[in-house]
Structure 1
Amino acid sequence: MADDSKSGGDLEKDQRSQEDAPPSSIYLISYPKIVFLYPTFLVAVVVAIFMSIAGESAQIGGNREHMAEVMSLIFLGVFGLNLTVLAFDFPRTTSLTLFFLGAALFMGAWMLLRFNPDIVPTITGLLKGLRPWANSQMYWLFASILGLIFIGVAISVRFDYWEVKGNELLHHHGFLSDLERFAAPNLKIDKEISDIFEYLLLRSGRLVLHPRNQPRAIVLDNVPFISRKEKQITRMLGALQVQVRPDNH
């Protein structure tokens, strides 16, 4: 019984040590900002499927509004918000305040015009005159174009990425797999999250690497899952520092 409990404890300890061990390689990929348009891509695909099934002439609501108009407004709204994320940076201290303020103003104005249509007849008439229209083919083409761009980005980043491995920082680039080597020990890492919405979309941010004996820092923008990558690199560098410590015995 004692041997069984001891062996079970050893197995549990070995399993825990394997889970805590740093990975052998950590890949760092800097993506272009267009990858943050994936919500628009998903909405375009969903709307395209819905419009293909329901048809462009389908109507909803008591006012017999056309489905195509409602879907167009939803698509344009998501597309506009997505472009806003790409165009501006929203720091942590102000982004949530601005977002909730804008949402509150929009909802207040919408409810005011909804229940009091005669208060500003010009604006009410303008809003009622908004009748955007697009068929399913437009959404399919939009999603196809954006999907092809995403595929191109996925292929291109395979020819330009960084790898933290062992005692080295490796830069793989070019179609012929050119390789640059930098010393990994004493590597300084800075993590920057300047846009909270980009962080929410892909958990991404900026990673700044300072290799030893290098005059210029290496800046990697839009690195997905940046917090997890930073923790993995910190664990790896900590393990390397323990391994290279001189033996005093």
Structure 2
Amino acid sequence: MSTDAKNPESPVSTKPRSSGEKGIKIFMWPKVIYIFPSAIVALFCALGMYMLREKLYDPSEPHEHGVVQKAVADPNAPATTTTTTTTAPGTPAPITHRERFNTPQNLLGVLFLTVLAFNLVVMGLDFPRFELIGIILAILFGTFFILWLGAFFDLDLLRPINAMLAEIYVFANAGFYLMYALVVLTVLVIVYITRWLDYWEVLPNEILHHHGPLSDLERFPTMNLKFDKEIPDVLEFMMLGAGRLVLRVPNVDKALILDNVLFINSKEEALKRLMSRLDVRITTDKDEPIL
């Protein structure tokens, strides 16, 4: 007679759960994060202006560098003095506005303002892919048309552009650029910390919405969940892979819209892997789950 008997209690599985079973955390970021390129450029400009510490003046006009002030007594008024200025030897002569535009301090200022303007445009406007393509084509067509007019009528169309650029002269010292970068960095750190005040977590059986300083919780079922990925702004997608997730939960009137999700392609793939599995397990005596 066989004495072999099966153990009625199955051993507990020690296999770690996969990352998909732990859930997928999805954060919605504010648009202020797209200002980080200007902070990087500000650090570069701060380094450049630190190397140009004696260039904080307008070189097209007489400046205090190289000007010597002398106090000369007035013979008719012994109690008062008059001040005259003389230019010290070796003082550079004023330059033209066109040469002034090409000075390093001005080019650094123009670079910083250009990147800052680009960041503000990205934050303030949405550029869908077809709209962006249309804008690029319109700019290219306009440039070609202007060049054609200049060639056909033998016009120097670059002269007014050069004259306008020659009037631009912007600069700041290294401390300004450094403080700007520190302020932006502080804001980004605050945003990174406070992201835990409002985020979503997708589990195999439910969707959790954590929000509020006391971590208020909302629960939604994942059964028959459908989701869509959208790219409302091509520039934001190019910078940080940002996009929008739309979760459609059964028996919920409104779709759950998650805006400005970074690296959305990786989130989409993780959601596909999570939704393709069914979190119902049948355990045999060998504790091998059958999905």
Q: Match for 1:78 among 103, 106, 115?
A: 115
Q: What residue is the counterpart of 1:25 in the other structure? A: 23
Q: Which amino acid aligns with 1:92?
A: R
**Structure 1 unmatched runs, 5+:** 1-17
**Residue 162 (structure 1) aligned with residue 160 (structure 2):** no
Q: What residue is the counterpart of 1:13 in the other structure? A: none
Q: Match for 1:191 among 222, 229, 250?
A: 229
Q: What residue is the counterpart of 1:102 in the other structure? A: 139
Q: Distance in 1 between matches of 2:183 and 2:19?
A: 42
1:213 positional shift: 1.9
**Structure 2 unmatched runs, 5+:** 1-15, 60-97, 283-291
Corresponding residue SS for 1:209: strand
Using the TM superposition, name which of 67-76 and 40-49 deviates more.
Answer: 40-49
Q: Distance in 2 between matches of 1:193 and 1:124?
A: 38
Q: What residue is the counterpart of 1:36 in the other structure? A: 34
Number of residue pairs matched by the alignment: 220
Q: What residue is the counterpart of 2:181 in the other structure? A: 143
Using the TM superposition, name which of 152-161 and 119-128 deviates more.
Answer: 119-128
Cα deviations by residue, 1:196-216 (Å, 9 ceiling, x for unpaired): 111111101111112222112
**Residue 208 (structure 1) aligned with residue 246 (structure 2):** yes
**Residue 174 (structure 1) aligned with residue 174 (structure 2):** no
- The within-5 A match list for 1:88-127 is 88-99=125-136, 101-102=138-139, 119=157, 121-127=159-165
Using the TM superposition, name which of 62-71 and 195-204 deviates more.
Answer: 62-71
Q: Match for 2:167 among 119, 125, 129?
A: 129
Q: What residue is the counterpart of 1:52 in the other structure? A: 50
Corresponding residue SS for 1:55: coil
1:55 positional shift: 3.0
Q: Which amino acid aligns with 1:130?
A: I
Corresponding residue SS for 1:162: strand
1:106 positional shift: 6.4
Q: What residue is the counterpart of 1:226 in the other structure? A: 264
Q: Which amino acid aligns with 2:278?
A: L
Evaluate the alpha carbon distance shift between residue 87 and residue 21 of structure 1 in structure 2; reply closer, same or farther with a 3 A threshold.
Answer: closer
Evaluate the alpha carbon distance shift between residue 95 and residue 118 of structure 1 in structure 2; reply closer, same or farther with a 3 A threshold.
Answer: closer
Corresponding residue SS for 2:228: strand
Pairwise CA RMSD = 3.1
Q: What residue is the counterpart of 2:5 in the other structure? A: none
Evaluate the alpha carbon distance shift between residue 167 and residue 74 of structure 1 in structure 2; reply closer, same or farther with a 3 A threshold.
Answer: same
Q: Is the 8 A contact 1:47 1:139 kept in 2?
A: yes
Q: What residue is the counterpart of 1:240 in the other structure? A: 278
1:126 positional shift: 2.4
Q: Is the 8 A contact 2:21 2:204 kept in 1?
A: no
Give the helix-richer structure, 1 or 2: 1
1:233 positional shift: 0.8
Structure ID, larger Rg: 2
Corresponding residue SS for 2:182: helix
Report the TM-score when normalising by structure 2. Answer: 0.66
